[in-house]
A and B are shown apart, each in its own frame.
Chain A
Amino acid sequence: MKTKLILAALLATATLAAHAAGSITVKGSDTMVILAQKWAEVYMGKHPDVKIQVTGGGTGTGFAALQDRKTDLCNASRKIKAKEIATCVAAFGGAKPTEYKVAVDGLSVYVNAENPVKELSLEQVEGIFTGKIKNWKDVGGNDAPIELYSRENSSGTYEFFKEHVLKGKDFAASAQTMQGTAIVLQSVAKEKNGIGYGGAAYGVGAKHLNIKPSASEPAVEPTEENVMKGVGGGAGYPIARYLYIYVNPALDKGDIAAYLSWVRSDEGQKVVKDVGYFPLPAQWRHK
């Protein structure tokens, strides 16, 4: 009896230890939560000995947890900031966090389905969201004031849009900041003079616009092919970005390294496509 008990206890500790060894925690961007969860699900199906735990909270929260070693991997929908690198370097004893590009995201500009406007140039989008252009008739639409829908300034999407579309200028103060792409879409669907932006998504009552990289170029639709061209800096869809995972280089070995290379493999990139983002171009993939 006693020996049995001891055996059971030993077994329990052994499984616990195995758990700790094969457990990966992932934290960060809310945009990437669904993608990261899907990755974890598929990967755990193939490697039952590895346990992956995914939580959101925002890119900044993820970096804070990475510094404090409360998470192994940090999902980020923007590049790490110099200040965050600095705190990481201080916490990691001199090493910078390693950056991996893991997926591509194209941001769409949405308007109400009844809006006659079909395309805008990048410059016009900038004018609209900074509040310089206030009426739809200035961009070929009805004579009606434009109602702006933006994202919360805590979202990586907001920062990307501000840096790359508005060129660092401020959003108009009258822009409503919404909690997610879904709510932006819903609001635009309900507001016939509304305009918003967000990740690739579909909703009844709203449509995405084709974007002209400059006034003289033809408008580009946010299709996979065009987004891939655009993110590489080519003449494709102009509002595209990478999604990242950051890791403490000291931890980038064993299970974590294996998981990271799987995420960037053809198999991991297939998941990206299933979730609705765009897979990495060939040069960034892990072979």
Chain B
Amino acid sequence: MQHQGKRPIGWMGIHRGHRAHPFEWLAEKGIFLVSLSAILMVLLIFVFVAREALPIVFGQMNSALVQPVIPPDEVDKHPPEKIREYLGLTKPQFAAMDKDTIRTLMEVHVEAQNEIPPHFRTDPDARANTTEWRYLVRPHQWTGYDQPSYIWQPVGQIHKYNIMPLIVGTLKTTCIGLLFAVPLAIGAAIYISQLARPRVREIIKPTIELLSGIPSVVVGFFALLVMATLLQQIFGYQTRLNAFVAGIALSFAVIPIVFSIAEDALTSVPRNYTQAALALGASRWQTAWQIVLPAALPGAFAAVVLGFGRAIGETMIILMVTSASEMSWSLFSGARSITATIAAEMGEVVRGGHHYRMLFLLGALLFAATFTTNMVAEVIMLRFKRRLEGKR
């Protein structure tokens, strides 16, 4: 035997000790393909979202209300390429059209410009391309406003696409949701896994996990009609539907996720850690807090990160409870999240138009945000694990 002790592990583990059964081999390949297709799918979705958003990123869209007009009679005076760009057509579309169609299209363009109400024609904002980055992220002095402001009002004569209110709204609701959910969920997980009697555990654990089975639209509806009124009566704030209510409602969706993962992590801490601590005279509480929780920290951290992902991606609850695109850091004012904006506005946008692309840009931003947090979390978790194992 030339390989005593160390067996060669061939490509994808085919020569692992015994000869693989053909069916096993097939199953292994099948699973590999499925996981590969999952990765491919994520990649494809990202490519699709990014592709639709790219024209905005590179400033190729023009959302100005007042645009130059070429009279239909002058169609022959311009090169065809210029007419094609003016009409916003693709090359094959343009090639397939006869003269009459192009003429009709040009007439439609002229009509559209003539339809603009006169008081907008003189407005400097009507000539601005509002999809430029400076309009997207920095406050602008719009006509009719007292001061430069962040405005998200995509529908109307002048399309205002400032994304800051949406980012602030998303952060507000997500933070409130997590601030509320994480201590509760981790606390419950410690209690259930370390302190509770088995009888109590058998009742409470499935009950909390049952929470995740409630459809978010039901949570949203409940929050909109019942919780909002109740919380307003307790705290006495001005706006009934605000980021605070949305955050609390959001925590209903986050708690079960954080709880069940943290509970798993705490339960899987080796029994001898606990036994050693108890034998040395620590109380149950000291054991749970100082021995088990630190040992389960990577798992608990993973739970929080997943909870964050759930909170930032949740749509329905926030959409139903509050959706005022207000630029305000106050917890008791309205908020509009990125997800809610996409969900609510996608149905009505002109396909391929600037509003459509703007929503895809928001989607890409969200994707990038969750991707980065997950990545950072992974790195931090690795560090935790190394420290626990004594490798610095």
Residues B240 and A191 in contact, CB atoms below 8 Å apart? yes
Residues A86 and B241 in contact, CB atoms below 8 Å apart? no
Chain A proximity mask over B127-163: 1 for CB below 8 Å, otherwise 0: 0000000000000001010000101111111001000
A64-B229 Cα distance, complex, nearest whole Å: 40
Using A179-B319, A187-B241, A190-B240 as known contacts, say yes or no to A153 and B153 having CB atoms under 8 A apart: yes
Cβ of A154 under 8 Å from chain B: yes
Residues A176 and B348 in contact, CB atoms below 8 Å apart? no
Cβ of B33 under 8 Å from chain A: no
Cβ of A265 under 8 Å from chain B: no
Smallest beta-carbon distance B69→chain A, Å: 12
Residues B112 and A176 in contact, CB atoms below 8 Å apart? no
Residues B347 and A154 in contact, CB atoms below 8 Å apart? yes
Which residues of B have CB within 8 Å of A145?
Answer: 238
A175-B334 Cα distance, complex, nearest whole Å: 8
Cβ of A59 under 8 Å from chain B: yes
Contact of B240 among A96, A153, A187 (CB under 8 A): A187
Residues B240 and A90 in contact, CB atoms below 8 Å apart? no
Which residues of B have CB within 8 Å of A84?
Answer: 350
Using A94-B98, A147-B240, A170-B144 as known contacts, say yes or no to A58 and B156 having CB atoms under 8 A apart: no
Residues B229 and A60 in contact, CB atoms below 8 Å apart? no
A154-B353 Cα distance, complex, nearest whole Å: 14
Contact of A93 among B101, B155, B224, B319 (CB under 8 A): B101
Using A152-B345, A168-B120 as known contacts, say yes or no to A90 and B323 having CB atoms under 8 A apart: no
A96-B103 Cα distance, complex, nearest whole Å: 12
Which residues of B have CB within 8 Å of A190?
Answer: 225, 228-229, 240
Residues B347 and A57 in contact, CB atoms below 8 Å apart? yes
Cβ of B104 under 8 Å from chain A: yes
Interface with B: A1-9, A155-163, A218-226, which one? A155-163
Using A90-B89, A170-B151, A173-B326 as known contacts, say yes or no to A147 and B101 having CB atoms under 8 A apart: no
Residues B115 and A60 in contact, CB atoms below 8 Å apart? no
Tell me the residues in window 185-225 of chain B with beta carbons closer than 8 Å to chain A beta carbons.
Answer: 224-225
Residues A90 and B97 in contact, CB atoms below 8 Å apart? yes
Which residues of A have CB within 8 Å of B115?
Answer: 82
Smallest beta-carbon distance B81→chain A, Å: 17
A118-B6 Cα distance, complex, nearest whole Å: 89
Smallest beta-carbon distance B86→chain A, Å: 11
Which residues of B have CB within 8 Å of A85?
Answer: 108
Using A58-B347, A58-B348, A155-B348 as known contacts, say yes or no to A176 and B155 having CB atoms under 8 A apart: no
Residues B239 and A168 in contact, CB atoms below 8 Å apart? no
Tell me the residues in window 196-238 of chain A with beta carbons closer than 8 Å to chain B beta carbons.
Answer: none
Tell me the residues in window 163-198 of chain A with beta carbons closer than 8 Å to chain B beta carbons.
Answer: 163, 167-171, 173-179, 183, 186-187, 190-191, 194
Contact of B105 among A90, A171, A194 (CB under 8 A): A90
Cβ of B271 under 8 Å from chain A: no
Cβ of A61 under 8 Å from chain B: yes
Using A60-B347, A86-B87 as known contacts, say yes or no to A94 and B117 having CB atoms under 8 A apart: no
Cβ of A83 under 8 Å from chain B: yes
Cβ of B344 under 8 Å from chain A: yes
Residues B144 and A153 in contact, CB atoms below 8 Å apart? no
Cβ of B322 under 8 Å from chain A: yes
Using A61-B347, A173-B165, A177-B344 as known contacts, say yes or no to A152 and B323 having CB atoms under 8 A apart: yes
Cβ of B93 under 8 Å from chain A: yes
Cβ of A89 under 8 Å from chain B: yes
Chain A interface residue count, Cβ-Cβ cutoff 8 angstroms:
47
| B152 and chain A: residue at smallest CB distance | A173
Contact of B156 among A60, A90, A154, A168 (CB under 8 A): A168
Cβ of B333 under 8 Å from chain A: yes
Using A64-B351, A152-B323, A174-B326 as known contacts, say yes or no to A83 and B344 having CB atoms under 8 A apart: no
Tell me the residues in window 83-123 of chain A with beta carbons closer than 8 Å to chain B beta carbons.
Answer: 83-87, 89-90, 93-94, 96
Smallest beta-carbon distance A90→chain B, Å: 6
A178-B334 Cα distance, complex, nearest whole Å: 12
Smallest beta-carbon distance A178→chain B, Å: 8
Using A89-B101, A153-B153, A187-B241 as known contacts, say yes or no to A174 and B334 having CB atoms under 8 A apart: yes
Cβ of A287 under 8 Å from chain B: no
Cβ of A253 under 8 Å from chain B: no
A86-B88 Cα distance, complex, nearest whole Å: 10
Contact of B334 among A152, A154, A169, A176 (CB under 8 A): A176
Cβ of B28 under 8 Å from chain A: no
Smallest beta-carbon distance A276→chain B, Å: 23
A179-B320 Cα distance, complex, nearest whole Å: 7
A84-B325 Cα distance, complex, nearest whole Å: 27
Cβ of A81 under 8 Å from chain B: yes
| A168 and chain B: residue at smallest CB distance | B157
Residues A83 and B101 in contact, CB atoms below 8 Å apart? no
A154-B348 Cα distance, complex, nearest whole Å: 5
A147-B100 Cα distance, complex, nearest whole Å: 52
Most buried by B among A83, A90, A169, A175: A90
| A58 and chain B: residue at smallest CB distance | B347
The 6 lowest CB-CB distance pairs between A and B, nearest first, are A82-B112, A154-B348, A94-B101, A58-B347, A60-B348, A153-B155
Residue pairs across A and B with Cβ atoms less than 8 A apart, 24 shown, are: A60-B349, A61-B347, A81-B350, A83-B112, A84-B350, A85-B108, A86-B105, A89-B104, A90-B89, A90-B93, A90-B101, A96-B104, A153-B154, A154-B345, A154-B346, A154-B348, A154-B349, A168-B119, A168-B157, A171-B153, A173-B149, A174-B326, A190-B225, A190-B240
